[in-house]
Amino acid sequence: MSAAPTRVTGRDRRATLEAVSASLPSRVDYLRLSVTDRCNLRCVYCMPPQGVAPRRHDEILSYEELLAFAETAVASGISKVRVTGGEPLVRKGLVDFIARLAALDGLTDLSLTSNGILLPRYAAGLRAAGLRRVNVSIDSLDARRYGELTRGARLADALAGLDAAFAAGFSPVKVNAVLFSGCEDEVEGFVDLTRRRDVHVRFIEYMPLDRQVAAGHTLVPAGLILERLRRDHAVEPVAGPFGLGPARYYRVPGALGTIGFIAGVSDHFCDRCNRLRLTADGRLKTCLFSAAESELDVRPLIERPDELARALAAAVAGKRFDRTTEAPDAGRAMSQIGG
């Protein structure tokens, strides 16, 4: 029988944390932290029609545990954290959690990804808590299509969330749009949005993570959208907004914002990957494609920063940067990983 883990708390914990050295390779500096597997939307490509059975509350990491994990990850070399879900804003107490995360020494960039529906309620509080920037996922600017894609949500609510993000002073504000074949006519609407607002729209290639969910949805290669954009506008490549990622950006003449492309399928960026993911139930994924067996269960290590740091470094040492040809892990829906 193995010995029960010793909890390191208080001053000892702080001392242990201080002894953790930045052991992660400098290229791996970004953590996507999923705070919940629950979502207030049911997007057709993200969840099966029956939804995904949510984990029990005791299976989900507490805010204390998430914070303790983030602390060790930051001490190990992570400098950017994105809070995601499920929908992060459906978890109670998120604003306080953000405030505590924002105060972590060594964290240089804290961001949040949301579908925007609850932003009118929380945007100002999040901004006051120290969050600087948000990404809002809006896949269609056509109310009927948005309703279909989300299985019943209202575009007006997501757009109110976008308004709230601007009103609260987040910068930059990015919009993520996953486009599917048949939705190419959406491009003009998004271009228009960048004319009116200093918003950075990123077209994201749909990644068929779970074939069942994917049925009936085929991706539009980013190149095709760019071609369409170039056909209709004299777009110019531009430097992207703050938040280094795999997107390439363009600006339509006179527009306040930009249009970017994240071509995860047609232009693999595995070799440029800088990220780790922690699922809400405490599994570290070093790759979106990682199979369940290779996930690291961090919960038993959370109270022992030195052991956690060693396990983290070992997991990252095994991270691969060439997985594009593999079959994705169908074990989890994207809503359970955090995108």
The amino acid present at 243, given as its one-letter code, is G
Nearest to 120 by CA among 161, 69, 91, 82: 161
Helix, coil or strand: residue 104: coil
Cβ closest to ligand SAM, residue 104 vs residue 177: 177
For residue 42, the minimal CB distance to ligand SAM (Å) is: 11
Is residue 201 close enough to count as binding ligand SAM by CB under 6 A? no
Which residue in this structure is represented by tokens 């539009």?
A: 220
Is residue 137 close enough to count as binding ligand SAM by CB under 6 A? yes
- Site stretch for ligand SAM (CB under 6 A), options 155-163, 252-260, 314-322, 331-339: 331-339
Q: Residues with Cβ < 8 Å from 260, sequence gap 6 or more?
A: 174, 200, 201, 202, 203, 240, 247, 248, 249, 250
Helix, coil or strand: residue 259: strand
Cβ closest to ligand SAM, residue 71 vs residue 205: 205
Cβ closest to ligand SAM, residue 106 vs residue 189: 189
Map residues 40-59 to x or -, x wherever contact with ligand SAM holds by CB under 6 A: -----xx-------------
Is residue 204 close enough to count as binding ligand SAM by CB under 6 A? yes
Alpha-carbon Rg for the chain, nearest whole angstrom, is: 20
* Spatial contact of 167 and 123, defined as CB atoms under 8 Å apart: yes
Is residue 329 close enough to count as binding ligand SAM by CB under 6 A? no
- Site stretch for ligand SAM (CB under 6 A), options 60-68, 119-127, 205-213, 292-300: 205-213
Out of 72, 114, 258, 290, which residue is the one contacting ligand SAM (CB under 6 A)? 114
Distance CA 20, CA 306 (A): 6
For residue 266, the minimal CB distance to ligand SAM (Å) is: 13
Is residue 39 close enough to count as binding ligand SAM by CB under 6 A? yes
Out of 36, 72, 76, 115, which residue is the one contacting ligand SAM (CB under 6 A)? 115
For residue 114, the minimal CB distance to ligand SAM (Å) is: 5
CA 191 to chain centre: 23
Q: CA distances (Å), 199 to each of 226, 250, 337, in order?
A: 18, 12, 26
* Spatial contact of 269 and 282, defined as CB atoms under 8 Å apart: no
Binders of ligand SAM among 236-275, rule CB under 6 A?
A: none
Running DSSP on this structure, what letter comes out for residue 219?
Answer: B
Rule CB under 6 A: which residues touch ligand SAM?
Answer: 39, 45-46, 84-85, 87, 113-115, 137, 176, 178, 204, 206-207, 209, 334-335, 338-339
